[in-house]
Amino acid sequence: MFGSDKKRRETINIQTLIGGGTRVQGDIDFAGGCHVDGEVIGNVRAAGSDTATLCISEGGRVEGSVSAPRVVLNGTVHGDVHAGERVELGATARVVGNVHYRLIEMAIGAEVNGKLVHQAEAQSLLEHDAREALPAAEPSTLRGAE
């Protein structure tokens, strides 16, 4: 960012692709890389991988929550975004919901209609899923399971 015009980019191995013009109804659990150009009506989450990346292109749309260690968003999410490691919000990104992140990169023009919630430590996705499954549970009950 400071003093360098070249950004370090990692190669993302895309194993799951939701193409443009495609509409999926239901939850998607993926491993590795997932790229969404179409529309998903349901939750999208990385299944047990610490290196998984979810990319939602400018034309991509998710009506539900998304959860992955790394999230690259240029499209629209109507739901919460949970990035255990890093989230990148491009200039055309639109989020109607809260963004939970450890590291965030946000371009001018990105919109978040919700809260930006910083996670001090990388929250494991399994812990996040356990909290969603047991909303009435006290946080101390979940700590005992670690």
Residue 9: inside a domain, yes or no? no
Residue 112: inside a domain, yes or no? yes
Are 105 and 87 in contact by the 8 Å Cβ rule? The answer is yes
Residue 107: inside a domain, yes or no? yes
CA-to-CA distance for 146 and 25, rounded, in angstroms? 34
The more confidently predicted of residues 140 and 13 is: 13
Residue 98: inside a domain, yes or no? yes
Q: What is the pLDDT of residue 3?
A: 45
Q: What is the pLDDT of residues 64-93, one digit of tens each?
A: 999 999 999 999 999 999 999 999 999 999
Q: What is the pLDDT of residue 72?
A: 97
Span 104-128, mean pLDDT?
82
- The number of folded domains in the chain is 1
pLDDT band, residue 9 (cuts 50/70/90): low
Residue 1: inside a domain, yes or no? no
Residue 69: inside a domain, yes or no? yes
Task: Report the predicted TM-score, pTM, of the whole model to 2 decimal places.
Answer: 0.75
DSSP secondary structure string for all residues of 101-130:
ESEEEE-TT-EEES-EEE-SS---HHHHHH
Q: What is the pLDDT of residues 15-68, one digit of tens each?
A: 888 999 999 999 999 988 999 999 999 999 998 778 899 999 999 999 999 999
Strand 76-78 with 111-113, pairing:
unpaired
Q: Domain range spanning residue 64?
A: 14-143
